[in-house]
Amino acid sequence: MKILLLGYGKMGKIIEEIAVSRGHQIIGKINIDNRAELEQIQAQNVDVIIEFSQPEAAISNIRWGLERGIPVVSGTTGWMEKKPEIEKLTADKEGTFFYASNFSIGVNVFFKVNQYLAQLMDEQSDYKVSIEEIHHTEKKDAPSGTAITLAEDIVKNIDRLSQWELTEEKPMPKDALPITSKRIDPAPGTHIIRYQSEIDDIEITHTAHSRKGFALGAVLVAEWIKDKKGLLTMDDFLSFRNF
């Protein structure tokens, strides 16, 4: 499989390593320093794009692929306010776009556990729920895309909550789920869900020890998505794997 990497930071380098070890060819590695080289890439030479860049570059990167009929796998977070534009472009071009806030299989198991726990805690109004996420200082967006996914699933399943809010932004409404974001090196990613009451606390935690889990998941998705169409997510991928 011929892979074009859009974004070649730490994640891009690990994705390259894993992809090559699995027999794939990296036909281009584009970042902010060599962006002009993107226009020299021939679409017919690309089977799939893996896009891990920065929020300000994600939209143009994804558009470039979709407009040329290339399947795009994106893990860049921090641009969700423009996601409807990408969804419309995918439909208009009858293209293939796969987005996940986190490609780690372990994190996606954690998502399922979080959903189930929130369902159980819906009627337990004595418990106050909160999220804490910790990432390295190079991560620009806050909260993380993973924390947002966790928060949205909690709000969806607990009736007394209607929104999530970053704790440092403003006073917390009673119906808001607070998220605390910390940036500490060299943390690749920790997410903690807390339910606290006067009697006891319940916590579930996912801690990433390296970026390899995220990178491997992205390559596995790229292998799977090649002949698919439409808007796809980790739920589609994990259903295929009998998750």
From 13, 29, 83, 135, active-site residue:
135
Q: Do the bridges between strand 190-196 and strand 128-135 make them parallel or antiparallel, or are there none, so unpaired?
A: antiparallel
Q: Name the nearest CA neighbour of 104 among 209, 24, 229.
A: 209
Confirm if 153 and 114 have CB atoms less than 8 A apart.
Answer: yes
Q: Is 139 among the catalytic positions?
A: yes
In one-letter notation, the amino acid at residue 36 is A
Bridge partners, 214 (sequence order) = none
Q: Name the nearest CA neighbour of 71 among 12, 145, 3.
A: 3
- The 128-135 sheet, strands edge to edge: 163-166, 176-183, 128-135, 190-196, 201-207
From 24, 82, 139, 170, active-site residue:
139
Q: Is 135 among the catalytic positions?
A: yes
Active-site residue set: 135, 139
